[in-house]
């Protein structure tokens, strides 16, 4: 397992970190994103999609649960488990179709179904804080665990 830690000082840097990661992806995979509300998970997903060459507009699929894009190097399936968690067989359906599946709030899958998904890449985005524990504006730590 390879672990990469990066600090982002802006939404643009979060986008660029995700873009760089996606540009190195050569195989379909399952990616989980975790982090508190507002840390930049959707910004990361947008950068990742652009790194795959996706041309469609990427927005948060919070209320739809799933959005599908087919214009990039791989089909890009963007899921959001904040409000709605889908069954494993739907995730596996997209994996069988050689897609990259990126799931925001992936930790909610385990909370609902009491089982873990086999993620190839796990991304944690967390706020950086000062010595008093106050959140530093726009500063995030992005930890990428990659088993590919």
Q: What is the CATH number of the domain that holds 94?
A: 3.40.50.300
Domains in the chain, number: 1
Give residue 117's domain range.
2-146
Q: What angle do CA 29, 34, 36 make, to 5 degrees?
A: 160
What is the C-alpha to C-alpha distance for residues 99 and 30, in angstroms, rounded to an integer?
Answer: 8
Token duo for residue 98: 């050689």
C-beta of residue 78 within 8 angstroms of C-beta of residue 70: no
The region of weakest confidence among 11-15, 31-35, 80-84 is 80-84
pLDDT digits (tens, 9 = 90+) for 66-107: 999 999 999 999 999 998 888 899 999 999 999 999 999 999
Indicate the SS3 state at residue 143: strand
């Amino acid at each position: 397992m390879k672990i990469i830690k990066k600090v982002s000082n802006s939404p643009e840097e979060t986008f660029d970190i995700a873009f760089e990661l996606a540009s190195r992806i050569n195989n379909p995979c399952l990616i989980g994103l975790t982090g508190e509300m507002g840390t930049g998970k959707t910004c990361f997903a947008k950068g990742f999609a652009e790194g795959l060459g996706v041309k469609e507009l990427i927005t948060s699929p919070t209320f739809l649960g799933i959005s599908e894009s087919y214009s990039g190097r791989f089909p890009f399936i963007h899921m959001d488990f904040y409000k709605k968690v889908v069954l494993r067989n739907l995730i596996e359906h997209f994996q069988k179709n050689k897609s990259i599946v990126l799931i925001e709030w992936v930790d909610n899958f385990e909370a609902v179904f009491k089982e873990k998904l086999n993620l190839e890449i796990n991304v944690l985005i967390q706020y950086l804080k000062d010595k008093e524990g106050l959140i530093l504006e726009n500063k995030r730590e992005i930890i990428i665990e990659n088993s590919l």
